[in-house]
């Protein structure tokens, strides 16, 4: 355990796998041998678009913040060697792309024994952020029309949870055939390719021309953030979940926002929630078999292929990718 394999960002759009030293734990830390780590949409914005990059080359393991693995050293009374944990550090200090993560025990969720494979339990990280977002700004969607822009892993989990919450009509959109198919399986009533004016027409057709009661932007692109206002009815609510793909100002049609009396929220900080409660709730849903996440885990690639993994995740239509994960396990 003196050295480890580690993903490292060495330039915009450039990830490599290097050998580096394992970081020594401080009091309250644990060392976790990573089994799997997933690529998040915010990782793509950082690596592929240079959003919020502190310096290049970056620290090893950055910006990985979706991981699962086994505790191999503990300096915390809360975790023991051998515990399986979900690792959920904040993205700006995340090192989930390291074979051995050294992180605070407060950013680890102990998982009980389960028949669910570890690569599927890892999806509790993304689902946990979605549950946190829905809890942070609760909206009663019972019988309402909801639009979810984007059906990557976050968008799919929004779709599933909205269906559980009793939404009347769920309209979703994406550009990737595999994600659109999975969206229907997760509970979407109407799935539309977000091209041309098809989405707006579908929303208006299903709402008597009024627009949606609640709109969730789960992409993190300037175009879809702008589009969200257009799809909302007067007095509607909106959740802007996706991290924008650049650091510049994002255009918003404030005239329509103002005239429609809209309310919009952004959300951040699930990793700092006491007891990681939303991640724990997500893990419970997966372990109880209330959701099948096997289709979400579409691609698993070795850490040595991290650059190719990012290339695929950034262009999911190339191979019908949904969630691209990295494995540290031996072949």
Poorest-pLDDT segment among 199-203, 218-222, 262-266: 218-222
Please name the helix (run of DSSP H) or strand (run of DSSP E) that holds residue 288, with its range, or none.
Answer: none
Half-sphere exposure of 68 (CA within 13 A, CB side): 24
Mean confidence (pLDDT) of the chain: 95
* Predicted local distance difference test score (pLDDT) of residue 1: 65
| Residue carrying structure tokens 């950055």 | 62
The pLDDT, as a whole number, for residue 6 is 98
Q: Using one digit for the tens of pLDDT, what is the confidence trace for 40-94? A: 999 999 999 888 888 899 999 999 999 999 999 999 999 999 999 999 999 889 9
* Residue 290 structure tokens: 């209330």
For 88-144, strand residue ranges (E) read 100-104, 108-110
Average pLDDT over residues 116-133: 98
Specify the pLDDT at position 331: 62
Residue 326 in contact with residue 7, Cβ under 8 Å? Answer: yes
| Residue 198 predicted with pLDDT over 80 | yes
- Domain 3-126+276-327 fold: Quinone Oxidoreductase; Chain A, domain 1 (3.90.180)
Percent of the chain clearing pLDDT 90 (strictly above): 89
| DSSP 8-class letter at 51 | T
Tell me the two tokens of residue 178.
């595999």
Q: What is the mean pLDDT of residues 260-287?
A: 96
Identify the CATH homologous superfamily for domain 138-266. NAD(P)-binding Rossmann-like Domain (3.40.50.720)
User: Residue 197's pLDDT is what?
Assistant: 87
CA 237 vs CA 130, 185, 250, 265: distances in Å: 16, 25, 19, 8
Residue 120: pLDDT band by 50, 70, 90 thresholds? very high
Is pLDDT above 90 for 251?
Answer: no
Distance CA 224, CA 99 (A): 35
Question: For the chain, which residues make up each domain, given as ranges?
Answer: 3-126+276-327, 138-266
Percentage of the chain modeled with pLDDT above 70: 99
pLDDT at site 94 = 94
Cα separation of 5 and 49, whole Å? Answer: 24
Confidence class for position 247, pLDDT limits 50, 70, 90? confident
In this predicted model, which residue has the larger pLDDT, 2 or 293? 293
- Statement: residue 2 has pLDDT above 90: no
Residue 210 is predicted with a pLDDT of 97
pLDDT-derived band at 194 (thresholds 50, 70, 90) equals confident
Would you say 192 and 169 are in contact if contact means Cβ atoms under 8 Å apart?
no
């Amino acid at each position: 355990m003196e050295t480890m394999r580690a993903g490292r960002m060495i330039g915009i759009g450039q990830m490599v796998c290097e050998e580096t030293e394992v970081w020594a734990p401080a009091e309250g830390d644990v060392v976790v041998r990573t089994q799997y780590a997933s690529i998040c949409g915010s990782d793509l914005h950082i690596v592929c678009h240079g959003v919020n990059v502190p310096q290049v080359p970056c620290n090893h393991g950055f910006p990985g913040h979706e991981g699962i693995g086994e505790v191999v050293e503990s300096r915390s009374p809360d975790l023991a060697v051998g515990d399986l944990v979900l690792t959920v550090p904040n993205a700006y200090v995340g090192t989930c792309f390291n074979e051995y993560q050294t992180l605070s025990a407060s950013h680890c969720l102990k998982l009980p024994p389960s028949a669910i494979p570890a690569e599927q339990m890892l999806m509790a990280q993304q689902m946990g952020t979605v549950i946190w977002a829905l809890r942070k700004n609760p909206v009663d969607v019972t019988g309402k029309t909801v639009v979810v822009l984007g059906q990557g892993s976050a968008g799919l989990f929004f779709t599933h949870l909205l269906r559980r919450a009793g939404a009347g009509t769920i309209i979703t959109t994406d550009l990737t055939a595999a994600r659109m198919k999975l969206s229907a399986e997760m509970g979407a009533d109407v799935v539309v390719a977000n091209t041309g004016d098809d989405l707006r027409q579908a929303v208006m057709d299903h709402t008597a021309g009024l627009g949606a009661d609640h709109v969730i932007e789960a992409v993190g692109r300037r175009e879809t953030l702008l589009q969200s206002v257009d799809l909302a009815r007067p007095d509607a609510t909106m959740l802007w979940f996706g991290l924008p793909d650049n650091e510049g100002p994002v255009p918003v049609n404030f005239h329509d926002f103002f005239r429609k009396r809209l309310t919009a929220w952004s959300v951040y900080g699930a990793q700092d929630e006491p007891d990681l409660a939303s991640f724990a709730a997500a893990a419970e849903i997966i372990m109880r078999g209330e959701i099948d996440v096997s289709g979400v885990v579409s691609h698993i690639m070795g850490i040595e292929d991290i650059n190719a993994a990012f290339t695929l995740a950034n262009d999911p239509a190339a191979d019908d990718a949904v969630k691209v994960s990295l494995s540290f396990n031996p072949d």
